[in-house]
Amino acid sequence: MKTIFHLDMDAFFVSVERILDPSLEGKPVIVGGDPHGRGVVAACSYEARKYGLHSGMPIRNAFRLCPNGVYIHGHHKEYGRFSKAMKYLLEEKFPIVQQASVDEFYFDFTGCESIYGPPEIFAKQLQDEILQKLSLPCSMGISSNKSVSKIATDFKKPMGITYVPYGKEKEFLEPLAIEKIPGVGKKLFPVLQARGFRTIGDIANASPGYLAVLLGKYGTDLWNRANGMGNDVLSVEQERKSISSETTFNEDIVGKAEIEKYIFHLTSKVAQQLRNENWQASTISIKLRYSDFSTLTRAKTLLHSTDDDKTIYDTSVQLFRQAYTRRVGVRLIGIHLGKLNHSCEQEFLFEDEEIIRKRMLGAVTKIRDKFGANAIHIGVSEKD
């Protein structure tokens, strides 16, 4: 039997912004940019949530609900810096720490009782230490597996600690709403609700065969999680799964040429990030959202992985031209890179065009790192 902690920072982006600017304390703070623009809420304080705000909602809607809120663009480099500090603090204490996102961590407490004492008492000590050293509030869930611990973390937010003893997992989950299970979102929730599922207990007590017929393999997984079962193995090195960038236009755009200019800038941005993190991508996807909010994606997997701006741009434009079939304005365009693998540079006896281009890309990366993303662009020929 294992003891798995899940730790989630409370309103992490807002907490960091309040460290940078203490005058934001106690105010409804919304991270996401111009409240009159067309972006979305990246994060909001608990004071703002009282007005009905939540992450992912259109920022204009947020402004209508909370016009007196403080709207800021955010400091993403600072979020990364505090995230690294958080991980370093945890790695000093535990042999296995898995970072699930910029503000979310799992760590294995199994066998640590002899060092730190009972898990629920230690959790409070750790919470206080994080607040003292990093000025960041957090919540924790503790159980025998990752799934239950993650659900438990949200049980008493903010600054909550929820301990679910071994053998009590199903009892803890039973009265909770089905949407508390990670993965039960906008698409799956109405499917389950239409069939009479209201609580996690309803799923746990249903026939696993029925759920498998209804939802396939995911139905079996859902039944297992509703019954308190889950994975208790942590990955020591959590690999990045994807890199993406998108932009929401201030006004809908119709012309292909204008949209392709934005694709050019987005591909430069994601390619730069690939090289900075020593990755190459095999799958390139575009995301297209029309003015009526209908959204489509198109993807292509390359024969060879790449970090080349031109290859990513050419593929993205090809996908866009295939996808853009409606005479409707475009609200959002995004580029997504997947199937990442570490880039490895091989020494060659003779230089060829590919090696020269690799060195050129390396020089471009250094210039952008020093002078900004717009300091230099890799050209695209007229025929492209």
- Within this chain, do residues 229 and 269 fall inside the same structural domain, yes or no? no
CATH label of the domain that carries residue 365: 3.30.1490.100
For residue 113, indicate whether it is catalytic. no
Q: Which of 212, 236, 260 is the last residue of a domain?
A: 236
pLDDT reading at 384 higher than 50: no
Q: Using one digit for the tens of pLDDT, what is the confidence trace for 294-323? A: 888 999 999 888 988 999 999 999 999 998
Contacts by 297-305, CB closer than 8 A, 24 or more apart: 297/336, 298/322, 298/323, 299/336, 299/338, 301/339, 305/280, 305/281, 305/339, 305/340, 305/341
pLDDT band at 339 (very low <50, low <70, confident <90, very high): confident
The percent of residues above 70 in pLDDT, for the chain, comes to 88
Tens digits of residue pLDDT in 214-223:
999 889 999 9
Q: Look at residue 222 in the predicted model and tell me its pLDDT.
A: 95
| % pLDDT > 90, the chain | 61
CATH number of the CATH domain containing 43: 3.40.1170.60
Q: How many residues does the chain have?
A: 384
Token readout for 302 is 């390359």
Looking up tokens 């909001």 gives 44
pLDDT band at 240 (very low <50, low <70, confident <90, very high): low
Whether residues 16 and 138 fall in one domain: yes
The reply to whether 304 falls in a domain is yes
In a domain, 185, yes or no: yes
Q: pLDDT at position 54, please?
A: 93
Q: Are residues 7 and 139 in the same domain?
A: yes
Q: Is the pLDDT of residue 352 over 50?
A: no
149 part of a folded domain: no
Identify the band that residue 108 occupies on the pLDDT scale cut at 50, 70 and 90: very high
Tally Cβ neighbours within 10 Å of residue 180: 15
Single out the catalytic residue among 25, 47, 78, 104.
104
Q: Which two tokens stand for residue 222?
A: 């859902």
Last residue of a domain, one of 236, 261, 282: 236
Query: Do 14 and 139 fall within a single domain?
Result: yes
pLDDT, tens digit, for every residue of 247-278?
A: 888 888 988 889 999 999 999 889 888 888 77
Position 260 in a domain: yes
- Among 236, 261, 279, the domain-final residue is 236
Residues 37 and 103 in one domain: yes
Q: What is the domain range of residue 58?
A: 1-143
